[in-house]
Amino acid sequence: MTHHIPVVEQILSANDRIADENRNRLDAAGVFALNFMASPGAGKTSLIEQTVRKLAGELRIGVVEGDIATSLDAERAAAAGAVSVQINTGGNCHLDAVMLSQALPQIALDKIDLLIVENVGNLVCPANFDLGTHRSVLVASIPEGDDKPYKYPGMYRGVNTLVINKIDLLPYVPFNMDFFQRGVETLNPGLKTFALSCRTGEGLDAWLDWIKAEIKAYRKI
């Protein structure tokens, strides 16, 4: 009997092997890494800017920016004070472990404590590809609507941490937080969640404290 392995399964298996290599490379350098995912406009880059600026005196931060085209986000991260590398996917809707493996040598890993990878803006494809980071962070935002956990269950089910951005818009945008959080809890019970606003700074301290605590725990492993 001939067994046929689906092509998608082969691709993901190969990706996972390289993701493990990326993780080993980061671990060897003692670098904690986060994979930021979100839909376009949710505020990934704004959150990165705020994180870099607020933690600049405590942590050395590197940023890998993934985008279909342009280096605009990498320039914003660099202006905020991060060591920044741009990956242009040339049309691909997500980063994969191979792309990150090619970017890592461009960063002096022994000179940073935290690596933030900003994935391509998309709520479908990025969920399927492990990059080799230690945590995956989904950035949701109030203007997107409260139905996103129900419409994109794969993304919400597969992340370690959730940031709800733009809470300053709650008085002006129809958004049922209870409905949203029920959807999240059904898919990912107990998911670590931060509600914040990059514009006003509300809720940012809890987010920053979490990052510092995660790095501290990582260094003790």
* pLDDT at residue 24, as a whole number: 98
Query: Where are the chain's structural domains?
Result: 7-220
Work out whether strand 135-141 and strand 161-165 pair parallel, antiparallel, or are unpaired: parallel
Domain spanning 7-220: CATH 3.40.50.300: yes
Amino acid (1-letter code) at residue 218:
Y
Helix (H/G/I), strand (E/B), else coil: 195: strand
CB within 8 Å of 54: residues ≥ 6 apart:
204, 208
In whole angstroms, what is the distance from residue 137 CA to residue 196 CA? 14
Asked if 184 and 156 count as a contact pair (C-beta separation under 8 A), the reply is yes
Question: How much is the pLDDT for 221?
Answer: 67
pLDDT (0 to 100) of residue 11:
65
| φ/ψ (deg, to 5) at 154 | -60, -40
Sequential pLDDT tens for the chain (221 residues): 444 456 556 667 899 999 999 999 999 999 999 999 999 999 999 999 999 999 998 999 999 999 877 777 788 988 888 888 998 887 788 899 999 999 999 999 999 999 999 999 999 989 889 999 999 999 999 999 999 999 999 999 999 999 999 999 999 999 999 999 999 999 999 999 999 999 999 999 999 999 999 999 999 86
Tally of CA atoms within 13 A in the half-sphere of 141 that contains its CB: 21
What residues pair up with 41 in beta bridges, in sequence order?
none
Q: Which two tokens stand for residue 53?
A: 């600026």
* Predicted pLDDT of residue 5: 52
Q: Which of 221, 49, 12, 23 is nearest to 135 (CA)?
A: 23
